[in-house]
Amino acid sequence: MKRSEVNTIIKEAIGFIEQHKFALPPFAHWSAEDWVSKGSECNEIRDNMLGWDITDYGLGKFSDVGLVLLTLRNGNQNNPAYDKTYAEKLLISQEDQKCPMHFHWSKMEDIINRGGGVMVMKLYNADADEGLADSDVTVVCDGVLRTVPAGTELELMPGESVTLPPRMYHSFWAKKGSGSVLIGEVSQCNDDNTDNRFLEPMGRFPTIEEDEPPFRLLCNEYGEQRSCSN
């Protein structure tokens, strides 16, 4: 992805989030220049990858396969300095823009339609070979137990949610004609480096072509700022 594209996506995401009256934490507004002056007091943000996360999954087709994510809080199961056991994210999915089929090895998560259009969630169990099982899927939607056939596409209206256990394959997008969806995620600690299993091999973070300065650093780009400020 070009940096100019990432910059535009983040600016539009901020506008969309503000339309839904969701106030962002201070670090979501820090520029690359701001980060130069941030010292070890901000290591929780760096170490736990809080902040902006724009991905095309390495496929170069963001409008078709991509997602805007903003990690608001997160623990770290690999670092004893952090004892939070939970995470929270905001996500934005556009109409027919797929988040590809995947599951998490360890993380249980609630995916919530916070506002906007209709969120579609396609569900499968994983089989013994980590493929898609042809077995009924049982999930909890806002405290109500539901069992549906494999491959069911649940439609979640604003305010509705689904709880996904580990090893449950899921893909989601905004339903065509309903508009983009502001999505919430409340989960156990998030680790995007080791806890994602995609059905089809793909990347997690984009390769950036630098054609202009960054409007906001992405959550995997804090390394240089750490070395400059500490």
pLDDT per residue as tens digits for the range 1-34: 999 999 999 999 999 999 999 999 999 999 999 9
pLDDT, residue 204, reads 86
Q: What integer is the mean pLDDT of 224-230?
A: 46
pLDDT, residue 87, reads 98
- Burial zone of 110 (CB within 10 Å; 0-12 exposed, 13-18 middle, 19+ buried): middle
Share of the chain above pLDDT 70, in %: 97
Share of the chain above pLDDT 90, in %: 91
Q: What integer is the mean pLDDT of 83-96?
A: 95
Give Cα 2 distance to the centre of its chain.
Answer: 20
- Burial zone of 33 (CB within 10 Å; 0-12 exposed, 13-18 middle, 19+ buried): exposed
Query: What residue spans define the domains of the chain?
Result: 3-229
Q: Is 143 left (phi over 0), alpha (psi -120 to 50) or beta?
A: left
pLDDT, residue 228, reads 41
Element (H, E) at 34: helix 32-36
pLDDT, residue 224, reads 54
CATH of domain 3-229: 2.60.120.10
Do 136 and 147 meet the contact criterion of CB atoms below 8 Å apart?
yes
pLDDT, residue 86, reads 97
Copy the structure tokens of residue 193. Answer: 């480096």
Query: CA-to-CA distance for 81 and 78, rounded, in angstroms?
Result: 9
**Rg of the chain (C-alpha set):** 18
58-67 pLDDT tens trace: 999 999 999 9
What SS3 string covers 151-208? CCEEEECCCCEEEECCCEEEEEEECCCCCCEEEEEEEECCCCCCCEEECCCCCCCCCC
What single letter denotes the amino acid at residue 154? Answer: L
**Least confident residue range of 155-164, 183-192, 221-230:** 221-230
pLDDT, residue 193, reads 87
Confidence of residue 77 (pLDDT cuts 50, 70, 90): confident
Q: Is 84 left (phi over 0), alpha (psi -120 to 50) or beta?
A: beta
Residue 53 has pLDDT above 50, yes or no: yes
pLDDT, residue 130, reads 96
Tally Cβ neighbours within 10 Å of residue 227. Answer: 8
Confidence of residue 225 (pLDDT cuts 50, 70, 90): low
